[in-house]
Every structure is written in structure tokens, then in C-alpha cells.
């Protein structure tokens, strides 16, 4: 009962690639400054009551 559709067994292999970087990729992608020009921490959003834009998500 041999089955002609069977293929010969090939053993699995695993390849590992190690990449070393000097600094984190995302470390310099954004600067967050939670203070204004007077060195005061902004804790709330400033809302403009006349802002009538339609924002498409």
C-alpha cells in the first residue's frame, strides 16, 4: 500500500538573526514636553468652543 503522493521527509531548520543597535529605535522618534514657555505644567486640554471641524476617524 504505497502512496505515490507522499513526499520524502525533510527535517526542520531554525535560523536566528541577532541585530545589535546602539540605542532604541523609538528613543528619538518623539519629544514630549509637558510644560509651556513659562515652565508651567499643562494638566488640561485647551478647548476652543468655536471649533466646528468634522474629524474623520
Q: How far apart are the first and last CA of the chain?
A: 61
8 A C-beta contact, residue 34 and residue 43: no
CA dihedral angle for residue 46, residue 47, residue 49, residue 55, rounded to 10 degrees: 150
> What is the b/e burial string over 10-39, where b = at least 16 CB atoms within 10 angstroms of the residue's CB?
eeeeeeeeeeeeeeeeeeeeeeeeeeeeee
Cell numbers for 11: 527535517
For the chain, the average pLDDT equals 76
**Which pLDDT does position 40 carry in this prediction?**
76
- pLDDT tens-digit series, residues 11-21: 999 999 988 87
pLDDT at 9 over 80: yes
Amino acid at each position: 500500500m504505497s502512496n505515490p503522493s507522499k513526499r520524502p521527509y525533510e527535517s526542520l531548520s531554525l535560523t536566528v538573526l541577532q541585530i545589535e543597535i546602539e540605542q532604541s529605535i523609538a528613543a528619538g522618534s518623539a519629544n514630549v514636553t509637558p510644560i509651556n514657555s513659562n515652565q508651567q505644567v499643562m494638566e488640561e486640554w485647551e478647548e476652543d468652543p468655536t471649533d466646528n471641524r468634522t474629524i474623520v476617524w
